[in-house]
Amino acid sequence: MRKSLLILVSVVCFFGAASMTTAAPIDLGSWTQEGPQANGNWVLQSGNTEVLQTINGNPTYFVSDTNYINTQFDGSFGVETTFDDDYIGFVFGYNSQSDFLLFDWKQANQPGGALEGFTLSRISGTADVDFWDHTGTDIAVLATDYSTTNGWADNTVYAFSLIYTPTNIKISIDSTQIFDVNGSFSDGKFGFYNYSQQSVRYKGFEEQTVVPEPATIALLGIGLFGLAGTAVRRKRKNKVVNKT
> What are the boundaries of each domain within the chain?
1-19+213-244, 21-212
pLDDT in tens, 163-176: 999 999 999 999 99
Q: What pLDDT is stored for residue 229 in this prediction? A: 54
Q: What is the pTM of this model?
A: 0.82
**pLDDT above 90 for 196:** yes
Helix, strand or coil, per DSSP, at residue 222 = helix
Reported as a single tens digit per residue, the pLDDT across 47-97 is: 999 999 999 999 999 999 999 999 999 999 999 999 999 999 999 999 999
Rg (CA), the chain: 23
- Per-residue pLDDT tens digits for 30-61: 999 999 999 999 999 999 999 999 999 999 99
Q: What is the mean pLDDT of residues 224-232?
A: 49
Beta bridge partners of 170: 163, 180
Distance (Å) of CA 161 to CA 34, 94, 175, 204: 22, 17, 8, 12
Helix axes of 214-243 and 2-17: crossing angle, nearest 10 degrees = 160
Task: Please give the Cα distance from 25 to 21 (Å, whole number).
Answer: 13
Amino acid 2: pLDDT: 52
232, with CB counted inside 10 A (0-12, 13-18, 19+), is exposed
CATH 2.60.120.200, applies to 21-212: yes
User: Which residues make beta-bridge pairs with 191?
Assistant: 63, 91
Q: What's the pLDDT tens digit per position in 96-127? A: 999 999 999 999 999 999 999 999 999 999 99
- DSSP of 90-136, one letter per residue? EEEEEEETTEEEEEEEESS-BTTTB-SEEEEEEE--SSS-BTTTTBS
